[in-house]
Amino acid sequence: VFSHLAVIALCLAAPMVAGQDNPATDNQDQMALEEVIVTARRREESLQDTPVAISAFSAEELEVAGIANTRDLQQSVPGLIFSEQGNKAPSIFIRGIGQKEANAALDPGVGVYINSIYIARTDSQLLDVIDTESIQVLRGPQGTLFGKNNTGGALLVSTIVPHTDALEGEVSTRLGNYGRRDVKVSGNIPLNDDSLAMRLSLAS
C-alpha cells in the first residue's frame, strides 16, 4: 500500500512542478526592460552603455508626465532649474551652472539644440513640446562634443521625422485653471511614394 501511495504522490507532483515553470517564464517576459537609444555622443547607442549622466524622455513619456514645455522638465530631471529674472527669458541651470544675467548679448551656460541646431540666446530656449520625438538632458560639461556654452550641460530636442508611409494626423487638447486652453495639431503628409514628405504642426 505504501508503494502505491508513493507512486500516486509522484505522479501528482510532476504536473504541479511543470505548471509552476510557465508563470515564471511569463513573469520574466513581462519584466523585460525596453532598450533606450540616445544620441548624447552624436551617435545612436544604448542609454546603459553611455558614460554620461542623461535623463531621456520619449514622446509617450512626455505625454504621460504632462510635460507641455521644456520648463516642465525641471519636475522630472535632477539638477535642472529654469530661473526667470523678471522677464520672459528663462535662465537654464544644471547642477547650479548657467547664465545668471538674462541679456541677449550674453551666451547661455546650458546649450539647447533642436535637431542638432544650436539655439544661441536665452530668450529662445524656452520651447513648447509639440511634435517632439524625444528630449535628452545631458548633465555636466559637454564642450568636447558640443563646443562652447555647454559648461552646465546640454538639452537635446528631436522632432518627429516626416515619412512617406501614410497620411497621419493628431489633435490634442489640454484644459486648466485660469482659463487655460491648449490645442495642438500635427500631421504627416506624403508628397510622393518613396522620397518626399512633410509635417505640419500648430499649437495655440
Q: Does pLDDT of 171 surpass 60?
A: yes
Residue 30, pLDDT score: 60
Instruction: Please report the pLDDT score of residue 27 as a whole number.
Output: 53
The helix/strand/coil state of 138 is: strand
- What's the predicted TM-score (pTM) here? 0.74
The total of other beta-carbon atoms located within 10 Å of residue 164's CB is 15
Residue 170 amino acid letter? E
CA angle 79, 70, 174 (to 5 degrees): 130
Contacts of 93 (CB under 8 A, 6+ apart): 80, 81, 82, 83, 109, 110, 152
pLDDT in tens, 5-31: 444 444 444 444 444 555 555 555 565
Lowest mean pLDDT among 25-34, 101-110, 117-126: 25-34
Distance of CA 51 to the CA centre of its chain: 18
Write down the pLDDT at residue 90.
Answer: 74
Lowest mean pLDDT among 6-15, 71-80, 178-187: 6-15
The pLDDT tens digits of the residues spanning 16-75 come to: 444 455 555 555 556 556 677 888 787 788 887 787 889 999 999 998 998 988 999 999
pLDDT reported for residue 5: 43
Q: How far is CA 86 from the centre of its chain?
A: 29
Q: Is the pLDDT of residue 198 over 60?
A: yes
| Residue 26 DSSP SS3 | helix
Edge-to-edge strand order for the sheet containing 168-175?
168-175, 181-190, 197-203
